[in-house]
Amino acid sequence: MDCLKDVITKTYGNDVNVIKRTPVSGGDINRAYMLELSDGSKVFMKSNRKSNADFFRVEAEGLSAVRQTGTVRVPEVIARGEDGNEAFLLLEYIASGTRSRASSEELGTDLGLMHMAETGSLVRNGTCGFTGDNYIGAGYQINTPKDTWTEFFIECRLIPQLERAAVYFGRDERRTVDAFLNRIDRYLAEPVRPSLLHGDLWGGNYMIDTQGHPWLIDPAVYVGHAEADLAMTELFGGFDRTFYDAYRNTAGIDPDYRDRKDLYNLYHLLNHLNLFGGGYLYSVKSIINRYV
Domains and CATH numbers, the chain: 4-92 (3.30.200.20), 101-291 (3.90.1200.10)
> Which pLDDT score is estimated for 26?
67
DSSP the chain: ---HHHHHHHHH-TT--EEEEEE----SSSEEEEEEETTS-EEEEEEEEGGGHHHHHHHHHHHHHHHHTTSSB-PPEEEEEEETTEEEEEEE---B----HHHHHHHHHHHHHHHTS--GGG-SSSSBB-SS-EEETTEEE----BSSHHHHIIIIIIHHHHHHGGGG--HHHHHHHHHHHHHGGGT----SS-EEE-S--SGGGEEEBTTS-EEE-S---EEE-HHHHHHHHHHS----HHHHHHHHHHH---TTHHHHHHHHHHHHHHHHHHHH-GGGHHHHHHHHHHH-
Listed residue (68, 49, 48) closest to 130, CA to CA: 68
> Which pLDDT score is estimated for 1?
74
> Which pLDDT score is estimated for 46?
96
> Which pLDDT score is estimated for 28?
73
> Which pLDDT score is estimated for 27?
66
Environment class of 15 (CB within 10 Å of its CB; exposed 0-12, middle 13-18, buried 19+): exposed
200 labelled catalytic? yes
For the chain, 292 residues long, the average pLDDT of each consecutive 10-residue run is 91 95 84 96 96 96 97 97 95 96 98 97 94 96 98 98 97 96 96 97 96 97 98 96 98 96 98 96 98 94
Asked whether 106 and 246 are in contact (CB, 8 A), the reply is yes
Catalytic hit among 200, 218, 229, 262: 200
Environment class of 256 (CB within 10 Å of its CB; exposed 0-12, middle 13-18, buried 19+): exposed
